[in-house]
């Protein structure tokens, strides 16, 4: 079960309840993957509200691994997510909110 005080959330991915968390290592992975110079740049990128499928896979993948699950982005991209694309976007949004708080420009 997710611990909200640690920035964790629960999500149903691949038919299983997983804990996702953007740990420091997961955030560093996202910075590299999304070519952000720092955490502020990463937050600004997401605050704009323009997120691609590539971004969703990167966010969810980093969160899944930060939550202690050994699932690659390639595996994650093939897994069903409850409510499809909308569900994936909601999970990513909840994870970013748990990590950064409210994101807005």
- Per residue in 47-84, pLDDT (tens digit) is 777 788 999 999 999 999 999 999 999 999 999 998 99
- Interhelix angle 39-47/84-100, rounded to 10 degrees, is 140
CA proximity to 23, closest of 44, 3, 6: 6
- Residue 105 inside a domain? The answer is no
Indicate if the pLDDT at residue 42 is higher than 50: yes
Q: pLDDT over 70 for what percent of the chain?
A: 96
Token pair for 57: 């896979």
- Residue 80 inside a domain? The answer is yes
Distance CA 76, CA 4 (A): 23
Instruction: State the pLDDT confidence band at 105, using cuts at 50, 70 and 90.
Output: very low
- Residue 42 inside a domain? The answer is yes
Domain region containing 33? 4-100
- Residue 78 inside a domain? The answer is yes
Instruction: State the pLDDT confidence band at 103, using cuts at 50, 70 and 90.
Output: low
- Residue 25 inside a domain? The answer is yes
Using a cut of 0.85, tell me whether the model's pTM lies above it: yes
Distance CA 18, CA 64 (A): 7
Distance CA 9, CA 2 (A): 5
Number of domains within the chain:
1
Token pair for 59: 């966010």
**Residue 52, Cα to own-chain centre: how many angstroms?**
13
Distance CA 72, CA 6 (A): 23
């Amino acid at each position: 079960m997710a611990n909200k005080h640690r920035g964790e959330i629960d999500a149903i991915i691949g038919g299983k309840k997983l804990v996702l968390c953007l740990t420091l290592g997961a955030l560093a992975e996202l910075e590299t993957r999304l070519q952000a110079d720092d955490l502020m740049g990463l937050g600004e990128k997401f605050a704009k509200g323009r997120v691609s499928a590539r971004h969703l896979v990167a966010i969810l993948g980093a969160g899944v691994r930060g939550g202690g699950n050994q699932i690659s982005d390639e595996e994650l991209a093939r897994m069903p997510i409850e409510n499809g694309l909308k569900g994936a976007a909601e999970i990513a949004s909840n994870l970013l909110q748990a990590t950064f708080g409210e994101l807005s420009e």
